[in-house]
Amino acid sequence: MRREVPFNKMIGSEEELRALVGYPSEIVTKKVVRYLDEHCRTFISLSPFLTMSTADKSGFCDVSPRGDSPGFVLVLNKNYLRPGNKRVDSLSNIISNPKVGLLFFIPGLGETLRVNGKAFIVKDEELLKQMAVNGKTPMLAVAVEVNECFIHCAKAFKRSRLWDSSSWHSKAKLPSAANMLRDHTKLSDYLSEDLEEMLKEDYKELY
């Protein structure tokens, strides 16, 4: 059953959108580069965290977080990098629709690096050996052919005060992952305390 849309006024064309918000400045238009230059390489080498956006063949989207020590993303050359692990959601999407979007973060820095391109699921043994962590070599990796990359301004970080610890909520106010997991999965036989302990044990094994 189709849901009723709770909106009365919606933008229906790019012309209508541009008439309302206008056009980007020259510096915004020209900031896109088609390869990983020295600035992009430095940014990626310092980033311990990124998000990867994919979509399946029907257009259903997924964004997954990826994180490890800075430098966990391997820059192969100016056109290719390796940001992935074996997360099945993203891999399934890549098989049907290889277009991906990456957003790199550096703690304390407001600007982010956006990279868009075409993804491949690879299993080259020599390449995978370079990604071994704690003696464990991944079975698969995601490689990305870079189509465009550009720096994104810090306005969102400044407005949200994301890196300002004085703006953070107390731990008592934070949502409980265990409660969310229990309610979303409908596992009423589990107590929140049990799920909390399961999560703690799971997080101990990072690789």
Q: pLDDT digits over 125-171, tens only? A: 888 888 888 888 888 889 999 999 999 999 999 999 999 999 999 99
Structure-derived torsion over alpha carbons of residues 142, 143, 146, 147, reported in degrees to the nearest 10 = -60
Mean of pLDDT over the chain: 91
Helix or strand (DSSP H, E) at 103 = strand 99-105
Per-residue pLDDT at 158 = 97
Cβ–Cβ < 8 Å for 83, 144: yes
Per-residue pLDDT at 85 = 46
* Res. 90: pLDDT tops 90: no
Per-residue pLDDT at 143 = 93
Question: In the CATH scheme, what is the code of domain 14-160?
Answer: 2.30.110.10
Residues of the chain with CATH 2.30.110.10: 14-160
> Nearest to residue 207, comparing CAs of 126, 125, 131, 122?
131
Lowest model confidence (mean pLDDT) among 1-15, 105-119, 169-183? 1-15
Per-residue pLDDT at 83 = 63
- Number of helices followed by number of strands (H, E) in the chain: 8, 7
Please tell me which residue, 135 or 102, carries the higher pLDDT value.
102
Please tell me which residue, 202 or 42, carries the higher pLDDT value.
42
Q: Predicted confidence band at 87 (pLDDT cuts at 50, 70, 90)?
A: very low
Helix or strand (DSSP H, E) at 14 = helix 14-21
